[in-house]
Structure 1
C-alpha cells in the first residue's frame, strides 16, 4: 500500500456532527428530568428560624455581643453535635438570624473552621461567624425564655456597650517595661 492510499489516523476526539448516520433523535432529545425525592420535601429543618425575633441593633447589624469567643465556640460545638445539623445547615441558619431579610450574604465553611480552631476569649472577635452565631444563640435564648447566665451578666458589667467586634482584641499591645499584658476571661487586655 502506498503512503497516499493510507488513511489519516482517526482522531480520538468526539465529533459534534457524529450523529449524521440518521440517528438524530438521540442527539436532539432532551435529557430525562430527575424526579424530586420525597425525602428532601419531608425533612424538617433541624434548626429553628429565628429571623422574626428582634434584638436591639438588629436593623443595622450592630447587636451588642456579651459572650466571649470561647463561649460561642462551645455553643457551636454543642449545636453541631445535634442530629441533622451540618456545618452548611448551621451557617445558613445563623446568616438568616443575623442578617436582614432578603440578604444574599453567605458565610464560607472555612470561616467556621477557622473560628472554631481559635482559642481564647478574644480570639476570633472580628469574625463574621462570631457575630452571626452570637446573634443566633441570643435569639434562641430569648425565644426559649432562658435567663442570662452569670458569665453573661459579668460580661455586661465589663463591656457596657458590648464586646468590641470591629478591632482584633488579641493582637499587638504596647506596654511599659516590666508590664506583662494578658487577656482575662472577659476578653479584655490587662497588665500586671
Structure 2
C-alpha cells in the first residue's frame, strides 16, 4: 500500500511500507479502467493525506503543499463522476475480506475513512520528497491521467516484486495490500473525426 501512497500521493512512487502490490496468479487484479475509476475516486483523500503527512518534511513552497486546497477540490469534482462505479469495484474486490457483504455505496466511505490511517504509517522525509517531486510534475494533469500514470507505475513496480512472498509478509497483510493492476499495454486514443 505504500506504493499506492507514494504513487498516488506522488502519483508515481502508492512505495514500500504499505505492503506488496505485486500481481500474481493468486491475487486478483483490476483492469486498467477499473483501477482508473477507483484511483480517480480516491485521489482527493490520497492528496489530502499526502499534504497532511508531508507538511513536516517539506518546505512550505514544495509543489505538493502549494495550492493543495485547490488541487483537492479539483480532484473531488472528478471523483464525484466515478463514485458509483468505484464503489461497486471495491465491493467486488473486497467481498472475500469482509465479514458481511457490503454494497458499493457502503464500502466506499469505509475505504475512504481507512486510507488516511494506512497512508500515514511509516511516512518519512524520503517518501515525502519522492511524492512531492512526482506529484508536482503531474499535478496539472486531469485526474484521469494521474490515475492512469499511477496504474502504469504500479504495473511496472509489481514486476520487481518477488512472485512468492514469504509467510511473514502474508501475516502482516492489510486490506487493500493485495490490490493489483492487471498488466496491460496502453494504446493511443484517436481524436474525433
TM-score w.r.t. length of structure 2: 0.25
Using the size of structure 1 for normalisation, the TM-score is 0.25
More helix by proportion, 1 or 2? Answer: 2
